[in-house]
Chain A
Amino acid sequence: MFYINKINAAGKIAVDDTILVKDTPATAGSKMLENFKPLFSAEAVERLEKAGYEIAGKTNVGEFGLDLMGETSHFGAATVDGNLVGAAAALVAQGEIKAALNVDLNGAPRRAAAVSGVDFIKPTYGTVSRYGVIACACSGEQIGVTAANADDAAEILSVIAGHDDKDGTSLPAEKYEYTTDKDVSSMKVCILADLYDGLDSKVKERIDAFTEELRKDGVTVDTVSLDIVSQAQTAWQILMAAETTNNLSRFDGVKYGHRAAEYKNIDELYVKSRSEAMGFLTKATIIYGSDVLAKSKYEICYDKSLRIRRIVCDKVRELLKSYDAILTPACSKVEYKPYDVLDAFEKVYEESLYTAIPSITGMPAMVTKGVQLIADSFNESVLLSIAKSVEV
Chain B
Amino acid sequence: MANQHFQIAIIGAGPAGMAAALTTTKAGLETIVIDDQKDCGGQVYRNLQANQKISPAYLGQSYYDGVNLARSFAGCGAICRPNCTVWQITDAHEIALVSRGKAELITADYIIIATGAIERPMPVKGWTLPGVMSVGGAQTLLKQAAIGAEDAVFVGSGPLLYLTAWQYIKAGLSVRAVIDITGAKQWRSAIPFAPLALFQPGMLAMGWKWIGDIRRNTEVINHVSAVEITGQSQAQGVSCTLLTGDKIEIGSNHIFLHQGVVPNVNLTMATGLAHQWDHQAHCWRPVIDVTGKSSDEQIYIAGDGGGIGGAKAAAIAGRLAASAIVARCGKPRFLAQLYYKLRHLHYLSIRPFLDRLYLPPAHFRLAQADETIICRCEAVSKADVDAALDSGASGPNQLKAFCRAGMGRCQGRSCGLVVQEMIASHTGQSMTETGYYRLRPPVKPITLAELASLEGPWPE
Co-complex (A, B): no
Which B residues contact A (CB, under 8 angstroms)? none
